[in-house]
């Protein structure tokens, strides 16, 4: 009986370990080659980002807005891949959504707007969920290692980077906006801060995004109402620089050789 109990415990531990090891982060889904993308599971529970972002907001944002972009993107991809009138573009249509957004100018005109809006919405949100983690102890978080050094090199120091990034987030007019920290592979991986409107993606501008804040009103309006500065300030408490570093390394690794194709 004791041996059976030990074996059962070992099997449960193995199954748990296997599940954890195989859990994909949301941003990894954008490199999948499929015409039926799934809404990624968040790497935390809906309530876990409190008190900085409330459970109600995360639920509506993920299960409402992000899910809608996913569904509409899949419909557009399905229609595109079945359209004999644009057979010349099938090689692009069958690539991951990541590649499609990079090559957006080559998407047939009849599908370009839908791919730009819904494919961009899918990808942008996948990055957004991936850079945050719960911070119940209110720990101060700053980048370290090579990424930390590169931020200092590009912006003088972390405080200056944070101020510049925040300024961009607060200066955006309207609600449909994002602010990004990306690598520019054309300039030897130089770090740059950029903005996009609606669901446009920095991928289309040949950038490799590693950090993003969603400044659409649906990202904060339930808790913060019209107080965007408070939302941005709270968001900084959730940025997990170890996760940002993972995304940064993902671009450089074998998962996706985008940096070699440009």
Binding-site positions for Mn(2+) read 61, 125, 214, 218
Pairing of strands 190-197, 208-214: unpaired
The reply to whether omega before 51 is within 30° of 0 (cis) is yes
Write out the DSSP string of 187-215.
Answer: GTTEEEEEEEETT--GGGGT-EEEEEEE-
- DSSP H helices in 37-191: 55-59, 67-81, 90-93, 97-102, 109-114, 120-130, 145-155, 158-171
Binding-site entries: 61, 125, 214, 218
Look up residue 115 and give its two tokens. 């791919």
Q: Name, in order, each residue with C-beta under 8 angstroms of 9's C-beta and a sequence gap of 6 or more.
A: none
Separation CA 219–CA 53 (nearest Å):
9
């Amino acid at each position: 009986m004791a041996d059976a109990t030990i074996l059962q415990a070992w099997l449960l531990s193995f199954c748990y370990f296997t599940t954890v090891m195989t859990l994909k982060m949301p941003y990894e889904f954008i490199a999948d080659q499929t015409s039926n993308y799934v809404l990624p599971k968040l790497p935390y529970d809906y309530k876990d980002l409190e008190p900085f972002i409330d459970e109600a907001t995360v639920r509506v944002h993920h299960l409402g807005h992000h899910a809608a972009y996913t569904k509409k993107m899949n419909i557009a991809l399905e229609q595109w891949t079945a359209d004999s009138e644009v057979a010349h573009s099938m090689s692009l249509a069958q690539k991951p959504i990541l590649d499609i957004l990079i090559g957006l100018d080559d998407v047939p005109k009849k599908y370009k707007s839908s791919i730009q809006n819904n494919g961009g919405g899918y990808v942008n949100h996948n990055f957004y969920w991936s850079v945050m983690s719960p911070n119940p102890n209110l720990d101060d978080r700053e980048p370290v290692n090579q990424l930390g050094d590169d931020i200092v090199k590009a912006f003088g120091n972390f405080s200056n980077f944070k101020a510049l990034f925040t300024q961009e987030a607060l200066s955006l007019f309207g609600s449909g906006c994002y602010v990004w920290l990306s690598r520019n592979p054309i300039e030897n991986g130089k770090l740059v801060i950029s903005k996009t409107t609606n669901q446009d993606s920095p991928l289309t501008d040949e950038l490799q995004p590693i950090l993003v804040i969603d400044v659409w009103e649906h990202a904060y309006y339930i808790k913060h109402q019209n107080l965007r500065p408070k939302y941005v300030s709270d968001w900084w408490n959730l940025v997990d620089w170890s996760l940002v570093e993972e995304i940064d390394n993902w671009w450089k690794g074998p998962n996706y050789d985008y940096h070699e194709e440009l």
